[in-house]
Amino acid sequence: MQIGVAVARIEAETLDDDLRAWSEAGIAAIECDYGPLVENPTRLLERWRQAFRDAGVRFWSVHAPFGGPHNLAHSDVHARRRAVEYHKFVLERAASVGAAVCVLHPSGSARPEVTPQKAWDWLRASLDELLPVAEELGLTLAVENMLPEAAIGSDPAELSRFLAAFLTPHLRLCFDTGHAHIAGNVFLWLETVAPTVATYHLADNDGVRDLHLPPGYGTVPWHLLLPTLQQADFPLIVEAYRWKNMAWRRFAEEVRAVLTGQVATIEMEGRTLLPRCQHCGQLVLKDGEHFSCGCP
């Protein structure tokens, strides 16, 4: 199982230290927000590409812009055209740094004053333009399931069927566990759409707010998701902050323990819960009969 992490930024000044920390922690891949890719010259991105290769860490995916003027299902044709052109620019930069996947968003965060079918039609038109670019660059477009308030795309099964109609391996699903947990039954949805997933955003929450907690720190039923997640032949990207800014090594260790079932559990009212240490607040990991947390 390969564990990856999503980071907001890559900084040239700290990249060598960051790559060393990720590599030593056993982190196999990184997803980065699009910002640093469009702010820096191509020659620097190519140096980053080589630095990642030298460190043995894969620059796996890029998180594309979202909402507002970047809405690929925007109701205004001129705004939508600008959004498509900007996404093409992002795709070119993603290819320059050696990414395999670009994570797109099906709509803005607010419901438009139109029918959902209109929004689906606008998204289809945008993807029709972006797909040839992605195919030429060797990228996979992974469209992410959204929160319930989004115009379209909060139902992963509906989104998966929409994407499958394009009949291309370059267009797949990015399954966000946190979004799915808030929008409905994350377990049943994952069972349904797993064959169409190109990448994951693994995050936990309380079932109400998109908190981006690390796996095991919310109420996502990870024990039900494990059989499907463990079958993935690509890095599992964790889109969450580090609890109490813990070291990368501990963060990766905890995530790996949750995703392999090597954490302490308790059964309460028919639910499987992951207890945390009362002193350090971190998960309790188990190795046979030995238990450990973050306490010294």
What was the pLDDT predicted at 111?
A: 59
Distances (CA, A) of 168 to 101, 135, 141, 196, 208: 14, 9, 10, 11, 34
Torsion of CA 66, 69, 74, 80, to 10 degrees: -110
- Give the Cα separation of 257 and 234 in Å (integer): 18
Percent of the chain as helix, strand, coil, to the nearest 5: 40, 20, 40
Amino acid (1-letter code) at residue 41: P
Give the residue carrying structure tokens 């199982």: 1
Task: Judge contact between 47 and 71, C-beta under 8 A.
Answer: no
List CB contacts of 258: < 8 A, sequence separation 6 or more: 215, 216, 222, 274, 283
Give the residue carrying structure tokens 């996947």: 101
| pTM score of the predicted model | 0.96
Q: How confident is the chain (296 residues) per 10-residue block, as mean pLDDT?
A: 96 96 98 97 96 98 94 93 98 98 87 78 97 98 95 95 96 98 96 97 97 97 96 97 94 96 89 90 91 88
What was the pLDDT predicted at 152?
A: 93
- Give the Cα separation of 234 and 250 in Å (integer): 22
What was the pLDDT predicted at 129?
A: 98
Query: Which residues pair with residue 61 across a beta bridge?
Result: 31, 101
Give the residue carrying structure tokens 């927000």: 33
User: Any idea where the domains of the chain sit in the sequence?
Assistant: 3-261
Q: For the structural domain made of 3-261, what CATH number should be given?
A: 3.20.20.150
Where are the extended beta strands (E) located within the chain?
3-7, 27-33, 58-63, 101-104, 140-144, 171-176, 197-201, 236-238, 266-268, 271-273, 285-287, 290-292
What was the pLDDT predicted at 271?
A: 83
- Give the Cα separation of 269 and 287 in Å (integer): 26
Phi first, then psi, for residue 49 (nearest 5°) are -55, -45
Sign of CA dihedral 212, 225, 294, 58: negative
Residue 44: left if φ>0, alpha if ψ -120 to 50, beta else—which one?
alpha
Amino acid (1-letter code) at residue 200: Y
- Give the Cα separation of 128 and 146 in Å (integer): 21
- Give the Cα separation of 159 and 276 in Å (integer): 35
